[in-house]
């Protein structure tokens, strides 16, 4: 979905912008948690970790995923981009999100 459509949906959401943003965060988390579980299980079998070490990896990847979701949602809410992936706003958003998440 491009940003113009997203802004139209946000402005016309019946329960307000705050609830829409919370729903987008919840949607991203519901998509992200199964991915973190799958990655943790794959690491457990590939490296041969015991249950405690696997839970530590699951916990740390979950925290990283939650942080990434919040940063990316906040950044795109603050600076929506209106063009394709070649636009300056899109590149700025991508650079900011990657910098914050990595450090």
CA distances from 21 to 47, 69, 93 (A): 38, 12, 17
Summarised one tens digit per residue, pLDDT across range 6-37 is 666 667 777 777 888 888 899 999 999 999 99
Residue 68 is predicted with a pLDDT of 86
Every domain of the chain and the residues it spans: 3-102
Handedness of CA 61, 62, 66, 67 (dihedral sign): negative
Residue 3 is predicted with a pLDDT of 57
Residue 36 is predicted with a pLDDT of 92
Residue 99 is predicted with a pLDDT of 80
Residue 52 is predicted with a pLDDT of 92
Summarised one tens digit per residue, pLDDT across range 49-93 is 999 999 999 999 999 899 888 888 887 777 666 556 667 777 777
């Amino acid at each position: 979905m491009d940003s113009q459509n997203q802004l139209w949906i946000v402005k016309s959401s019946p329960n307000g912008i705050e609830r829409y943003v919370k729903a987008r965060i919840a949607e991203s988390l519901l998509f992200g948690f199964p991915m973190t579980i799958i990655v943790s299980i794959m690491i457990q079998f590939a490296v041969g970790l015991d249950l405690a070490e696997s839970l530590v990896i699951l916990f740390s990847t979950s925290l990283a995923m939650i942080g990434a979701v919040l940063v990316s949602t906040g950044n795109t809410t603050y600076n929506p981009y209106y063009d394709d992936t070649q636009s300056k706003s899109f590149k700025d958003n991508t650079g900011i999100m990657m910098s914050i998440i990595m450090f």
